[in-house]
Amino acid sequence: MSTDQSTLLTPDQLLDELEVLAAVEHAMVVEWLTVGCALGMDLPPEDGGPLTDAARDAAGAAASIAQDEMRHLSRVCRVLADAGRSPSLDRAAAVTGPAGVLDLTPPTVADAPALIAREEALAAAVDWNYARLLPSAAVVDGAQDVLQDGGTHAAGAAALRRALGDPPPADAVRVRRRTAADASEQRLLDAGDSGYAVVADALRQWLGAADPFAGGGFRQLAVRAMGHLDELDRLQAQRGLLPAFTVP
């Protein structure tokens, strides 16, 4: 099937779209980190962790999908950096898909069915954007593989549905609270936001490096910072709090 040349994006237009896509992928990393926290992460049941094997599998799936989203983000940013664009590491507040504009604010979900429905809708929207840009991919070096291989978000949402089962456990969502109960909890939320800011800055330096080898030091910093952020998320979930992931 031939492609109408009049509908193809110019290199600058595609790079602009890839910057938007990178911001969406950043939001999807935060989305799946939040899902994992809502499901109790890998905490023991007595500390707010999953109560069933299905819920524990789902929490593990969420952690794995967050890593997949990080790989999507890094690949899009690599194309931008190679083209001379410095990735901003902004985070999208919404994503446009075939069903309209969907909110990307980190979720507070009531139950597992609502969580599954949200993730399936977001995944469809993000995959739609990959497919929308693919016909123009050849105008920017490296974009073809990234756009062709990146439309896998629906598979992640399907993995969450499979892990939770049908019907999902009624008590699968373990963490919903976003408001600190006291000063100690507020300090914990603030520490989580500080940790997130360090991760975002390290990623910006690493993924924006013109030479990927030159950014190696920032990559190591980002990996360590993500490990610390994971521990802070775990402490917040243990207190029944969802991390705020406030945009730096």
Domains and CATH numbers, the chain: 5-177 (1.20.1260.10)
Report in angstroms the alpha-carbon separations of 79 from 14, 75, 140. Answer: 11, 7, 8
Please give the distance of CA 221 from its chain centroid, rounded to a whole number: 19
Q: What was the pLDDT predicted at 7?
A: 82
- Residues ≥6 apart with Cβ < 8 Å to 218: 202, 203, 205, 206, 209
For residues 57 and 237, give the distance between their C-alpha atoms in angstroms, rounded to a whole number: 17
Q: What was the pLDDT predicted at 214?
A: 64
Mean per-residue pLDDT over the chain, rounded: 94
Q: What was the pLDDT predicted at 1?
A: 40
Contact in structure between 151 and 130 (CB atoms under 8 Å): yes
Contact in structure between 104 and 247 (CB atoms under 8 Å): no
Dump pLDDT digits (tens) for 202-231. 999 888 877 766 667 788 899 999 999 999
Q: What was the pLDDT predicted at 41?
A: 98
Q: Look at residues 37, 44, 45 and name the one whose alpha carbon lies nearest to residue 62.
A: 37
Contact in structure between 32 and 160 (CB atoms under 8 Å): no
Contact in structure between 147 and 88 (CB atoms under 8 Å): no
Dump pLDDT digits (tens) for 32-60. 999 999 999 999 999 999 999 999 999 99
Quote the DSSP letter at residue 138.
G
Strand-pair partners of 97: 100
How many other CB atoms are found less than 10 A from the CB of residue 75? 20
Dump pLDDT digits (tens) for 3-14. 555 589 999 999
Helices (H), 134-248: 143-149, 153-164, 183-207, 216-238
Lowest mean pLDDT among 119-128, 179-188, 195-204, 214-223: 214-223
Percent of the chain whose predicted confidence (pLDDT) is above 70: 96
Contact in structure between 108 and 68 (CB atoms under 8 Å): no
For residues 92 and 33, give the distance between their C-alpha atoms in angstroms, rounded to a whole number: 15
Q: Is the pLDDT assigned to residue 2 strictly greater than 50? A: no
For residues 196 and 135, give the distance between their C-alpha atoms in angstroms, rounded to a whole number: 35
Q: Look at residues 198, 207, 194, 199 and name the one whose alpha carbon lies nearest to residue 246.
A: 194
Strand-pair partners of 96: 101
pTM given for the model:
0.94
Q: What was the pLDDT predicted at 128?
A: 98
Local confidence band at 125 (pLDDT 50, 70, 90 cut-offs): very high
Using omega within 30 degrees of 0 as the cis cutoff, is the peptide bond preceding 167 cis? yes
